[in-house]
Amino acid sequence: MENGVIQAYHATQASEAYKTMPAFPRTNEVIRSVQLLNKTVITLDSSKRELTSWTYQHSSSVESTRFYLDDIIINEYAIASSAINLEIVYVLVLTNNHWIEIYPSKSLKHEPLFSLHLRCSVKVHSTPNGNFFILTNKGSIYFIKQKITGDKEITFEQTAQAQSNISCSMMLSSVLILNELECFIVFADNAQSMTIWTTEKIINMNMFHHLLHHH
């Protein structure tokens, strides 16, 4: 129980309490995946069409829901917190028609804060600083940065782009923080080389050659 208190009830009391207990909030479809950040939870249902945000500070409650209709489904999503308020969470959604959209978790029904259309398969990553890296199966890398306006509002902009020269159709990738700098690492399909991108420079490394040289 809350505050570590354990309370005991007679079975009859528990049964009566259960009858009067209000229904828990729920989604329309069975939840398939869950992502948690601070005090916000984002869920996606098994049909990959119902995206829901929840809060659970005192009790769980549905904050906002977005439904995708017709043939549009959500292939992937990532979440990041606001740079000025950790309790504000943003959701990046990747749909099967290759649209990338970013919404505030509290306003999933509204128009996206940012949208980008790509014509190929994509992998998305969020960073601890509230930004997003996007990798396509053709090796293109995009950086979507969170920006604070003069009115202390958050916007998102694509501020950088790079092209990896390795074959990465499997889109094996990760975000790494080095010396407080956000780095994006892409691994080649053959697992012998990788690309490291810092939005300022791109480094291509042949790991197999490096190991041979070391020995």
In a domain, 11, yes or no: no
Band of residue 200 on the pLDDT scale cut at 50, 70, 90: confident
Angle at 82 between CA 163 and CA 34, to 5 degrees: 80
How many Cβ atoms from other residues are within 10 Å of residue 121's Cβ? 16
In a domain, 90, yes or no: yes
In a domain, 195, yes or no: no
For 6-20, write each residue's pLDDT tens digit.
455 556 665 665 555
Q: What is the pLDDT of residue 13?
A: 64
Band of residue 23 on the pLDDT scale cut at 50, 70, 90: low
Q: What is the DSSP letter of 106?
A: G
Band of residue 133 on the pLDDT scale cut at 50, 70, 90: very high
Strand partners, 185: 174, 196
In a domain, 203, yes or no: no
Q: What is the pLDDT of residue 92?
A: 98
If one counts the domains in the chain, the total is: 1
Residue 206 CA, chain-centre distance (Å), reads 30
C-alpha span between 197 and 194 (Å, rounded): 10
In a domain, 180, yes or no: no
In a domain, 10, yes or no: no
Strand partners, 207: none
C-alpha closest to that of 79 among 67, 91, 64:
91
Band of residue 3 on the pLDDT scale cut at 50, 70, 90: very low
Determine the average pLDDT of the residues in 45-67. 88
Q: What is the pLDDT of residue 58?
A: 65
Task: Give residue 54's domain range.
Answer: 25-165
How many residues in total does the chain contain? Answer: 215
In a domain, 194, yes or no: no
CATH code for the domain of 157? 2.130.10.10
Determine the average pLDDT of the residues in 122-126. 95
In a domain, 197, yes or no: no
Q: What is the DSSP letter of 110?
A: S
C-alpha closest to that of 129 among 94, 78, 174, 82:
82
pTM for the predicted model, two decimal places: 0.81
